[in-house]
Structure 1
Amino acid sequence: MSKRILVLILIVAIALGAAGTYAGLAFFASGSSSDSGISSDDQNLLSQLSEQQQSLEENMGKMSKVVDAFSIIQENYVEEVDDQQLVEGAINGMLESLEDPYSVYMDQETMEQFNEQIEASFEGIGAEVSMVDGNVTIVSPIKDSPAEKAGLKPNDQILSVDGESVEGLDLYEAVNKIRGEKGSEVVLEVSRPGVDDPLEIEITRDSIPLETVYSETKEVNGKTIGVIELTSFSENTATDFKKALTNLEDKGMDGLVIDLRGNPGGLLPEVEEILKNFIPSDKPYLQIEDPSGKKTRYFSELESAKGYPIVSVIDGGSASASEILVGALNEAMDYDIVGEKSFGKGTVQQTVSMGDGSTIKITRFKWLTPDGNWIHEKGIEPTVEQKMPDYYYTNPMQLEEPLSYNQSDDQIENVQIMLEGLGYEPERTDGYFNEATKSAVEAFQSDQDLDVTGEVDQKTAEVLQTSIVEKIRDGQDDKQLEKALEIVSQ
């Protein structure tokens, strides 16, 4: 028997197996009806079965070309080729042709590794990644993770891992290289928008924090304002959010700020449960569009809106479920959004088992805002734009030679912005290393017990970066949160 006939038989067997399962369901359904005849439900099932059969026949005709390609490669390629390799390649090729970074195939080995990593208490660098235009891209580092502490930022594109290029790898292959055991080190080469040269960022892997809800109160203009920060939407996020919200309400808060900065999204049911706390039943909180274009609106059972104002805070790392939340609060309730434009992910994925341990994660739906807007690849614009201080946007540095007096360089501008952010006075931030910059460097080196040279060598640059990251993590000069608190306390 030829390989071409064998492959064709396999495809037919799989297809008939699927049709047989559907036919069996139809048979058992009709068997449960009354003896007087076929019910309307049975007629619908039979009609659907007929459509499935017709679709199957059409698809079988199209699959003959795939069978031909399989046979040509097997019978003519200069070296021996594994059948499974060709099948896996065909599946990957079909998904890649969709040009959708969120639709991916995980073979049995990759799926096993993925499951093991999920069960292994989340050890790694702690960053949500996606494939954007063929590049492994940081969506957002997780709060208090090694990635955040090392200075990774949304939209950083990973070029290599420990010196090995990730070009040509799929997302899960790249992620497997980045992940690792707690305490181990990894060096990522990244390309950052607005920075000419690639950056090398060294990260020590650690256990990734599982907590997703943080809450506190702040006194502003004589009012008690609750602040809830959501770092992602995972299992129990909605339950923990409800507990935090109830606790703040019991304290008599006068307004609420929901901080979604750096939140890459997560589970759709979790954000839906959170929205049911705020959006009354007379307004949809979300719309879902299926592959046929049919739109379904979703409503809560809430009788009335909260009696206090609510403001959301977002940035470029706020994606997916975060955007669902802020989009709903803004369009359904006209609540303000403070910060910077969000990431822009407006699709929902589902996983489909292939029956052999492998899985396809495929984009199944579009999610739309209450007014029916699709924000995919556009993001959500804040109603009140507010940037952070300049030092929040500085970058790690790799220096081959020290930076010194009378030089001009983009790296020097970076240093000057850091120094200014730390309270030193370089007098200028245009990249020219003047006397005031030298004095500021000397003062910083003295305060940090470094060699006082007035030059910025790699050691000084690293301590500068660490000091800036620590100040950012302490929440100092948080202009976006300050603006949100100002609005909600008016």
Structure 2
Amino acid sequence: MYIRGRYLILALIAAIVISSGVTALLTSGDGTSALPESTTATPEFQKLMETYSTLQKSFYQEAKSDQLLNGAIEGMIKSLDDPYSTYMAPTEAAQFHENIESSFEGIGAEIRAEEGKIVVVSPIKGSPAEKAGVKPNDRIRSVDGKVLDGMTASEAVVHIRGKKGSKAELIIERPGVQGEINISLIRDTIPLETVYSEMLPEQMGKIQITKVSETTYTEFSKALEDLKAQGMKGLIIDVRQNPGGLLNMTVKMVDELLPEGKMILQVEYRNGERDTYKSNAKSFDLPIVVLIDEGTASAAEILASALKESGGVPLVGTKSFGKGTVQTTKQFEDGSDIKYTIAKWLTPDGNWIHKNGIEPDYKVELPAYASLPAIDPEKELKQEQFSNEVKAAQTMLDALGFHPGRVDGFFDNKTTEAVTAFQKANNIEATGTIQGKTTTKMMELLHEKLKKNDTQLEMAQRVLRKLIP
């Protein structure tokens, strides 16, 4: 979650990065220090300057000034041991702000660095990552053969992003799944729209918020008014797979839903001081239920916890991700940024959900097939093969009513018979192998089945039905 416009920068970094002329940051024209005398006189800065000077003069290859400086900043940020604080070079910084403010091209997944691994917080709705079956907590080990282990999140983004239409080959580790998962997808423009609304049966309104960007409050407010105009009797807010975003937009959305004076959240700084955010708007006078899951993070967790603790709103789904810190960014004249944690946020009751998440009032799992990875349509799966892709395909066939007899990843005669039956039922050439149209149709039908069998949404509707007068 990010606070825009509030820059509490570390004095050490501010003293070093004072202009875009990198060499001039450290030395003047005659080779003496360009930093203030009071700064360079301190032991810490003297050590830094001596290291810089030594490497400039004695390293066996030419040491570029900007490379040394960027490395020093990256090292300081990494020493904080905070996966949400990072240094971003100009290109990375531009991509970061693009993600918050507008559409962009890539696979569409929010990531973070954790213990040397790149971890998916949540895929974005409608993105190639979501369609390909990328899940929260997946570890992306490599992209197009480039190993991501040891990278910061901003470094990994450079390799994960790419032009629309370009292919991305991901190797993923998934908790609870043995072996690696290979996912192939085509990068695309990630949609700007972050709010989707519809009217469900019995005049139940549903608003899904996929992330929180600059446009989200406006989209949310419009969706709310549209549903009210259609005679909405109760509201389901769906923040599953929502990786978070901007604090100010989140506060404005919650402000529309809670009675005046109710606590939305508290932000606590390292000196113990707290900022409190309270609702100023009139109360939303219809019952609400909120859907959460393991991909609900940060700003989305603020919304869920505020409605639960200050509004008595029931939560349905599975435990949320658990990100309870607040970040801001500082941009430098050369276009680079540092994103760093400035505080932790607390729920209205003063709870810190960091690494713990929020427990739902009604715990409901999705069907097992909801967690299946996508299969690359270009890859042929056939008899005598043994792989995770075959196992996923067998599970898909079983869920669709074409029983392969086993779901252990070994492609045997029974699996061939199930594939042939599936192909005949869907007017596809009966080859008995899985590739191309067969793969695509299997995933398409499974997605449709999941939409019709959304057990979490069904429970939310049952809960809301009891709350509607």
- Unmatched 5+ residue regions in structure 1? 17-55
What CA deviation, in whole Å up to 9, does each residue of 1:95-114 have, x standing for no partner? 00111121111234543565
* AA matched with 1:485: Q
Alignment of 1:76-91 (within 5 A): 76-91=58-73
Alignment of 1:77-476 (within 5 A): 77-111=59-93, 121-219=103-201, 223-303=202-282, 305-397=283-375, 402-403=382-383, 413-426=391-404, 429=407, 437-452=415-430, 454=432, 456-458=433-435, 462-463=439-440, 466-468=443-445, 470-471=447-448, 475-476=451-452
- Pair 7,349 (structure 1): closer, same or farther in 2 beyond 3 Å: farther
- Bigger Cα displacement from structure 2, 241-250 vs 442-451: 442-451
Distance in 1 of aligned mates of 2:98 and 2:288 = 40
Distance in 2 of aligned mates of 1:266 and 1:351 = 13
Distance in 1 of aligned mates of 2:329 and 2:189 = 26
* AA matched with 1:357: G
Deviation at 1:447, TM superposition (A): 2.5
* AA matched with 1:248: L
- Pair 439,387 (structure 1): closer, same or farther in 2 beyond 3 Å: same
Instruction: State whether residues 93 and 335 of structure 2, in contact with CA within 8 Å, keep that contact through their aligned partners in structure 1.
Output: yes
- Bigger Cα displacement from structure 2, 160-169 vs 140-149: 160-169
* AA matched with 1:187: E
- Pair 8,310 (structure 1): closer, same or farther in 2 beyond 3 Å: farther
* AA matched with 1:318: T
Identity of aligned residues (%): 43
- Bigger Cα displacement from structure 2, 418-427 vs 434-443: 434-443
Instruction: State whether residues 199 and 396 of structure 1, in contact with CA within 8 Å, keep that contact through their aligned partners in structure 2.
Output: no
- Pair 470,8 (structure 1): closer, same or farther in 2 beyond 3 Å: farther
Higher helix share: 1
Distance in 2 of aligned mates of 1:140 and 1:458 = 28
Deviation at 1:319, TM superposition (A): 1.0
The reply on whether 1:484 has 2:448 as its aligned counterpart is no
* AA matched with 1:274: M
* AA matched with 1:189: I
Distance in 1 of aligned mates of 2:457 and 2:214 = 26
- Pair 287,115 (structure 1): closer, same or farther in 2 beyond 3 Å: closer
Instruction: State whether residues 404 and 415 of structure 2, in contact with CA within 8 Å, keep that contact through their aligned partners in structure 1.
Output: yes
Deviation at 1:351, TM superposition (A): 0.9
Deviation at 1:461, TM superposition (A): 7.2
Structure with greater contact order relative to length (CA < 8 Å, sep ≥ 6): 2
Instruction: State whether residues 73 and 87 of structure 2, in contact with CA within 8 Å, keep that contact through their aligned partners in structure 1.
Output: yes
1:10 maps to which of 17, 23, 34:
34
* AA matched with 2:358: I
- Unmatched 5+ residue regions in structure 2? 1-25
What CA deviation, in whole Å up to 9, does each residue of 1:284-322 have, x standing for no partner? 11111113121222111235x433321111112111111
What CA deviation, in whole Å up to 9, does each residue of 1:234-281 have, x standing for no partner? 112112212221222233322110011111111111110011112223
Secondary structure of residue in 1 paired with 2:226: helix
Deviation at 1:71, TM superposition (A): 3.4
- Pair 124,334 (structure 1): closer, same or farther in 2 beyond 3 Å: same
* AA matched with 1:320: S
Instruction: State whether residues 279 and 300 of structure 1, in contact with CA within 8 Å, keep that contact through their aligned partners in structure 2.
Output: yes
Alignment of 1:59-78 (within 5 A): 60-78=42-60
- Bigger Cα displacement from structure 2, 180-189 vs 339-348: 180-189
Deviation at 1:201, TM superposition (A): 1.5
What CA deviation, in whole Å up to 9, does each residue of 1:457-479 have, x standing for no partner? 4558734653355426x722111
Deviation at 1:161, TM superposition (A): 1.7
Secondary structure of residue in 2 paired with 1:350: strand
Distance in 1 of aligned mates of 2:218 and 2:405 = 50
Deviation at 1:373, TM superposition (A): 1.0
* AA matched with 1:196: Q
Distance in 2 of aligned mates of 1:471 and 1:144 = 14
TM-score if structure 2 supplies the norm length?
0.84
- Pair 234,117 (structure 1): closer, same or farther in 2 beyond 3 Å: closer
- Bigger Cα displacement from structure 2, 149-158 vs 313-322: 149-158
Instruction: State whether residues 400 and 446 of structure 2, in contact with CA within 8 Å, keep that contact through their aligned partners in structure 1.
Output: no
Distance in 2 of aligned mates of 1:120 and 1:10 = 39
Distance in 2 of aligned mates of 1:146 and 1:438 = 29
> Please, what is the CA RMSD of the aligned residues?
3.0
- Bigger Cα displacement from structure 2, 328-337 vs 391-400: 391-400
Q: Residue in 2 aligned with 1:22?
A: none
- Pair 465,68 (structure 1): closer, same or farther in 2 beyond 3 Å: farther
